[in-house]
A = this chain, B = another copy of it.
C-alpha cells in the first residue's frame, strides 16, 4: 500500500526560478514584428536556452517528429453543456471535472503537447463577463490542473499555456494600444507560467501586430520559455487582416517564436499550402499544423465540421510530408480524431 503523498510533480514549478525571475531581460521580440521582406530563407535568432522548460521542449523535439498536439477544447466544452455566450475559462473553477476529462481524452489519444483551457483568458475577453480581475487565478488554476492530469497520465506530455487573441483590434485601426496589448498578454502569460506550464502557445491570431505583442508579453513574463505562435489563414490563404504565410513565417521567427504555423481555419485542404509556403521560406523552422476538422459548413444554419477521424488521419500524413513537425487539430475535433491521427503518424514513422 502506497501511503506517500502523490503531490503533482510539477517539474516546471520546482525549477522555474530562472525562467520567471528574468522578467527584466530585454524583450528580444519587441522589434521582431517589423519583418523585413528578405528573399532568402529566414532562421530564428539565438535565444537563451537555459531553464527546465526549455530542456523539456528540446527533449521532446529530440525524440523525433512529428509530435502530436491535442484537439479542440471549445468543441468538447460546448458538447459538455457550455453555452455559447459563457466564458470557458470560468469552468476551470466551476466545472474542473469536465475540463480534466477533456484533457484526459487527449492524453489517452497520445497527445504530447496539451493546451490549457485559457484561450480567452486575457483581461479584455474575461472583461466581457466581469472577470477581468481574475486573470491570475483562472490561468494559474488551469495550468496546475492540467499539470496534475499530465502527471497522473505518466508525465510524458508537455503543458502548453494557451493564449488567444484579445478580440480587439490594434491601434491605429482599432482601439487597442500596442503597449496595453503587451501588458495584457504579459499578465496572462505570467499566470500560466506561475501555474507551471512548459511552454506558451499563442494561436488563432490574424494581426501581425497583435501576435507580436503577445510574443513580447510572453517574453516579458519569461525570457526563456519556449513559444509556439500560430495564425489563422482563413481568407484566401491569408489571415483576415491580410497576412500571407511567408510574412507570418518571417515575422514570427524574427520575433523569437520557437515554433510557428497555422491553426483553426477552413480545414486541412486550406492549411496544407500554408505549411508548404512557410516551409519554403523557413525550411529549418519547427512548423505546426493544427487544422479544424474540415471546412465548417452550414447545416440547418449551424456550423458543422464534417472531417471524420480517417480524413484527419490522412491530413496528418499530408502535413508531415509538407514539413510540419507538430501536428494537432482544432475546432470540430475530438479525442477520436486525435487517436486516428496519432496512429497514422506512428505508422508513417515506423514505415
Q: Which residues of A contact B (CB under 8 A)?
A: 1-8, 10, 13, 37, 75-76, 78-87, 90-98, 100-101, 105, 120, 124-125, 127-128, 130-131, 134, 136-137, 140-141, 144-145, 148-149, 152, 166-169, 173-176, 194-195, 234-236, 238, 240-244, 246-247, 264, 277, 296, 298, 300-303, 334
A205–B90 Cα distance when bound, in Å, is 18
A90–B140 Cα distance when bound, in Å, is 25
Q: Which of B1, B5, B167, B235 contacts A141 (CB 8 A)?
A: B167
**A302 near B81 (CB under 8 angstroms)?**
yes
Known contacts A1-B246, A128-B93: A78-B78 contact under CB 8 Å: no
A5–B206 Cα distance when bound, in Å, is 12
Known contacts A82-B85, A94-B120, A334-B301: A244-B140 contact under CB 8 Å: no
**B7 near A242 (CB under 8 angstroms)?**
yes
Q: Could you jot down 18 A-B contacts, CB within 8 Å? A: A2-B244, A6-B242, A6-B243, A7-B241, A83-B83, A83-B85, A84-B95, A92-B167, A93-B166, A97-B234, A97-B264, A100-B240, A140-B169, A141-B169, A141-B175, A144-B173, A145-B240, A175-B194
Copies in the complex: 4
**A6 near B85 (CB under 8 angstroms)?**
no
Across-interface contacts of A301 in B (CB, < 8 A): 75-76, 79-80, 334
- Which one of A75, A97, A194 has the highest number of Cβ atoms from chain B below 10 Å of its Cβ? A97
Q: Which of B105, B144, B167 contacts A174 (CB 8 A)?
A: B144
A175–B135 Cα distance when bound, in Å, is 11
Starting from the known contacts A5-B243, A141-B175, A148-B242, 12 additional A-B residue pairs (CB-CB under 8 Å) come to A4-B244, A5-B242, A7-B242, A75-B301, A85-B85, A85-B87, A94-B120, A144-B169, A144-B174, A148-B240, A149-B240, A175-B194
Across-interface contacts of A194 in B (CB, < 8 A): 175
A300–B80 Cα distance when bound, in Å, is 9
**A96 near B167 (CB under 8 angstroms)?**
yes
Across-interface contacts of A242 in B (CB, < 8 A): 5-8, 148
Q: Which of B10, B80, B152, B302 contacts A236 (CB 8 A)?
A: B152
A150 to chain B minimum Cβ distance, whole angstroms, is: 12
**B167 near A94 (CB under 8 angstroms)?**
yes
Residue of B nearest to A5 (CB): B242
Residue of B nearest to A139 (CB): B175
